[in-house]
Chain A
Amino acid sequence: MKDQSKVVLEAKNVDKFFYNPTETQVLRNVSFQINRGEFVSVVGKSGCGKSTLLYILSTMDTDYKGELFMDGERISGKSSNYLSQLRNEKIGFVFQFHYLLNEFSVLENVMIPGLKLGKYSREQLEHQAMEKLRIFDMQDHARKKANQLSGGQKQRVAIARALINDPLLIMGDEPTGNLDKKNSDIVYNKFRELAKDFGQTMLIVTHDAEFAAGTDRTIEMEDGRVVNF
């Protein structure tokens, strides 16, 4: 790994258009960097393009102009198979609504990205998954089916899943947006803990001012532009 890889993620002049129904520019010339170990939040009004930005950064949306660098490597224009692998290995996701695969147990849900990566044996992964669940105090629920958990519990398991491959970066799209105050606080505290205790790099989109205030840095967006970072 190179020395300048202090920069985990860099966006250079990213533009994004929606063509349906008419051409609308949702992102204008977005550029910023995220350094290793930073806990960054992206805030802005609804419709300002922060989620769109997140999905571009997450490599799931490849239809944009501009350049994206992850870990010093240019990832714009790579094949979708390569990007899938990259997501699996280097990015952990936490969504607002879509938490877990209901067909699997909690433990299996956490293990699946690890199994996909195929770096460790099943037994090792099971052990690691239990460790991750322990961070979130969910170890007692490991054998339950995913749909037997409450929303807050599911989200905690989802964060555990995001951590299983020790990703370079965790991305969240309003991870507390769909939770009540109590669960929201729990999840928020877990994010803080990850930042402080594990030095985990994180990029979280939120419109919760309180959440944003607790992060290292806040990127503010307005009308598809980064106005403050």
Chain B
Amino acid sequence: MKWSLIFEIARALMFARMKQTLIAATGVMFSITMFVALLGFMNGLNAMLDGLVLNRTPHIRFYNEIRPNPNQPIDQSSTFENSLNIIRSIKPSTSRLAIHNSEAIIRTLEEDSRVLGVSPKISAQVFFNVGTIDLTGIVSGIDVEKEAELFAFTDYVTSGNFADLNQTNSIILGKGAADRMLADIGDVIQVTTAQGNRVQLKVAGYYQSGLGDFDNVNSFASIATVQKMLGEPPAYITDIQVKLKDLSLAPPLAKEFGNVFGIDADDIQTVNAQFETGTNIRTLISYAVGITLLVVSGFGIYNILNMMIFEKLDTIAILKAIGFSSQDVNRIFITIALTIGIIGGVLGLIFGFLACLVIDQIPFETAALPTIKTFPVDYNLKYYLIGGIFSLITTYFAGFFPARKASSVDPVEIIRGK
């Protein structure tokens, strides 16, 4: 059986009921448009909200935690091996915050093929001296280039030049902290460290992450500046941040590296579990809404095809009488359904893309999100593929039952029936 003839007959039947065919195709188009726009917008928002935290969060973070020594002397004594030992008021031992042998650790990590990049960091508790008032804060010593490369640091430096941070004694202040200190770019502020060292730092820019609490407390300086502030040697580092090539490997790798280096390691999944949950649920809801729309348009196609078959019983009977098999008739109506699906689907994808472009232009400015000027939209090809495939699947099933009905029409009954 030649498909060209089936297409020709399907086309003729569709042209005969042009209006209904168009309505069915419009239904599909509308649902695909909504599906694509909804998922694009929803996932754009998801990516942005996740990015707020995840972009800046290392996949694995190595550090030394201050805590009591878990191996207390009494537990190691054989005399008290089988007794329940209770020690009150244990204090943390004088362990160092600094990571021992940090340079070797960094070198090892950088050579590992699973690691995308490594960035060292120092956290220092400070007081900002503003007149008679001391504001508490944290100054993070960072490797400016690596921080920019791995953690999108530049995105959050809203004014000033982040490269100025490479000069010693300059600082990028959190926006909240800067507002409280009334510190302009170029001003010099005074900082006291927890050890009592006083340092003068020049403000090189503002940092705004979008999380208010974070911006009130956190400021950034170069590693050398912070080492100098604390009076520590150049090997002094408190955190090593690692970005992996594959995010999902973080938990096992954190465990592996933690054991090898003998330090504490946190992975991103454990620290930020709630973000993934939120993302998953939002995605689930948008898929549910999109697929519901498609199913509804599928019922529209089902209805219209059923009506068409009822109207065209004579045509079907004649086709069968002149030698078309049940299979051919079935194919004709499946072809009609799929044509509606393809035309509606393609138009829907195009309009969906246009809708995304429109959403992308809608202004969305908020102080909390300095890098966002318009609504975020995700143009991932995945949603277009899913939308396209679903439009074909739903129209196929919408056409399946009417087509089966058409193929089982008994020509004798129709021809004799009049």
Contact = CB atoms under 8 A, between A and B. Distances in A.
Interface of A: 51, 55, 58, 60-61, 80-81, 84-89, 93, 95-98, 100-104, 112-113, 115-118, 161, 173
Given A88-B322, A88-B323, A112 B5 contact: yes
Contacts of B315: 101-103
**Interface size class for chain B?**
20 to 34
A129 B315 CA distance: 20
A173 B417 CA distance: 13
Closest 10 CB pairs of A and B: A88-B323, A84-B325, A103-B12, A87-B323, A103-B16, A113-B322, A115-B5, A81-B325, A55-B412, A97-B418
Nearest to B418: A97
A118 B319 CA distance: 15
15 contacts: A51-B416, A60-B411, A80-B325, A81-B327, A84-B324, A84-B325, A85-B325, A95-B318, A98-B318, A100-B318, A101-B318, A102-B16, A103-B13, A112-B5, A118-B2
A60 B412 contact: yes
B15 interface: yes
A85 B318 contact: no
A98 B313 CA distance: 11
Interface centre among A60, A61, A101, A113 (most CB of B within 10 A): A101
Interface string B193-229: 0000000000000000000000000000000000000
B320 A84 contact: yes
Contacts of B15: 103
B323 A117 contact: yes
Name the residue among A86, A115, A116 with the largest chain B CB count within 10 angstroms. A116
Contacts of B317: 98
Contacts of B16: 102-103
B326 interface: yes
Contacts of B12: 101, 103-104
A180 B309 CA distance: 31
Contacts of A81: 325-327
Given A81-B327, A115-B5, A87 B416 contact: no
B17 to A, nearest CB: 9
From B2, B15, B318, B321, residue with most partner A Cβ within 10 Å: B321
Nearest to A89: B323
A75 to B, nearest CB: 14
Contacts of B411: 60
B334 to A, nearest CB: 17
A161 B2 contact: no
B415 interface: yes
B65 interface: no
A80 B329 CA distance: 13
Given A98-B318, A103-B12, A103-B315, A116 B415 contact: no
